[in-house]
Structure 1
Amino acid sequence: MDAISTNNLNSMPEISELKKLLQSLAMLDAIMSPEWDERYYSFNSKWDENEQMGSMRNGCGDDFSVLFNQAGCFVKGFDHESAMSSWNTGKQQPWPNLLKGLPPEFLAASKEPAFSMENISFCIWKLHSVNSWRIGDFEFAVGEDPDGSEYLLEIFDGDPDTYRVFAQEYYEVDLDIAVIEKVYRHLPLTDRLVKSINSEVSLKELEKDILEIGYPSINAT
């Protein structure tokens, strides 16, 4: 499969698949890192009424935010070193016409303070009523991966090995890919599954995270 990017939206997962993936990533990170501030991925299944939000922060200034609402899905990404970074446009404005054509259903999302829209290098969206993911009507900057979308959206490929490589680099732990696959498939968490990922964490300790993420589990006793 070709790498996902704003130049290759055909490889983007369906909205329901993307939501499930982001929940899995957030759950894996919650198990790997009890300290919230050290996590890459998070997911809030009760962001607002009829809204859920997944996000990534890499601690180096790059991020993405993914809003799910009744209309569809809105994705904002920021690679601060990319050619199309708002840091390069003057007055920290989005790249010219980056949001041109944004459906009104996502207008509120484009003004959401929590998404730090002054820090943006790409934006994609999909309405449930439309068959494909879309981007604004703009001209790309010259260069390879000019908006950083290929770099930041690699994890959207849904391949457990992509997370395994990430965990090896970031957490310095070589996870069993079969264990990652179980979480990607949303198999209910058990204490045994949790400890196969991180022996120092229990299912009981994850209750708050499980509730926030909306991930299935067998109740800890």
Structure 2
Amino acid sequence: MTAHDVARALPGIEDLRDHCRGLAMLDAVLSPEWDARFYSFDAHWDEGEQMASMRDGMGGEYAIVFSAAGAYVRGFDHESLMSPWARMDTPRVWPGVLDDVPDVFRPYVTEPAFCDEDGVTTVTCCLWRGVGDTAWRTGTIAFPEEADGDPDGANILFELLVDRSPEAYAGWASEYYETPVDVEAVRALLAQRPLTPEIVAVLNPDVDLADLAEDISEIGYPA
């Protein structure tokens, strides 16, 4: 799977935003310690902008900026042959990944939070969708011939954005957090149902709803 396949599998902007909120809220309940979480959502990232993010702790990450213009998705797999640092004397983004990004999303290409200390964008795959678009878009890319079926890292990075089922998250979280995760509780949060003490207790008996007040506010999740 590549960014091209992900583009065909993602839902509309608002549905993706809600799903990202649900992932972030689930991780907040299961992992009180922010540093151990995979998924986050900042409803107040910047004026008029929200950001969903993932970081796997091993160099893989993505960021999705939601704005009045639409949504911009940046993914980075440090093991990909398409990494700016993979096989080039002078680090540079793989041809085509960012070349077609529309002007309205160009500020995110050079956003310091998405670049290294030398200003090189940390990216191996990129997608975007304007508010008037009927589909997600990507650049025209010639993928490295020697790469496997996941040349740009999109398959692993966006796994739970492509498969948005409660079962997919519950299976992943059960393994990652090393604890059983209730599928129906996951279903409730992915559907944006209001968080209740009962749902929290089912997911993590060591956390109270009151403990999540700051996370709920940051994520913008229904109280």
Whether the TM-score (by the shorter chain) exceeds 0.5 is yes
**Corresponding position: 1:7 with 2:8:** no
Partner of 1:161: 167
Letter in 2 for 1:41: Y
Shift of 1:89: 4.6
Partner of 1:106: 105
Can you list the C-alpha shifts for 1:131-189, whole angstroms capped at 9, x where unaligned?
11111122122231110101111100211111112112210112111110000001000
Normalised by the length of structure 2, the TM-score is 0.92
The 5 Å alignment of 1:64-75 reads: 64-75=62-73
**Corresponding position: 1:209 with 2:215:** yes
Aligned equivalent of 1:193, options 181, 192, 199: 199
Q: Which 10-residue stretch deviates more, 5-14 or 73-82?
A: 5-14
Rounded to whole Å, the distance in 2 between the matches of 1:89 and 1:164 is 37
SS at match of 2:208: coil
Aligned equivalent of 1:119, options 92, 117, 122: 122
CA contact (8 A) 1:99 1:137 kept: no
The 5 Å alignment of 1:49-68 reads: 49-68=47-66
Rounded to whole Å, the distance in 2 between the matches of 1:125 and 1:61 is 22
- Give the CA RMSD over aligned residues: 1.3
Segments of 5+ residues of structure 1 without an aligned counterpart are none
Rounded to whole Å, the distance in 2 between the matches of 1:97 and 1:192 is 48
Partner of 1:182: 188
Aligned equivalent of 2:154, options 149, 153, 156: 149
SS at match of 2:85: helix
Normalised by the length of structure 1, the TM-score is 0.93
SS at match of 1:7: helix
Letter in 1 for 2:156: Y
Rounded to whole Å, the distance in 2 between the matches of 1:22 and 1:89 is 33
Segments of 5+ residues of structure 2 without an aligned counterpart are none
Aligned equivalent of 2:131, options 128, 131, 151: 128
Letter in 1 for 2:173: A
Partner of 1:94: 93
Aligned equivalent of 2:39, options 29, 41, 52: 41
Letter in 2 for 1:13: P
CA contact (8 A) 1:100 1:138 kept: no
Can you list the C-alpha shifts for 1:21-63, whole angstroms capped at 9, x where unaligned?
1100110111111111111110000111111000001000100
In the TM superposition, structure 1's runs of 4+ consecutive aligned residues that sit over 4 Å from their partners are: none
Rounded to whole Å, the distance in 1 between the matches of 2:9 and 2:26 is 23
SS at match of 1:204: helix
Shift of 1:7: 2.8
Rounded to whole Å, the distance in 1 between the matches of 2:131 and 2:217 is 26
SS at match of 2:139: coil
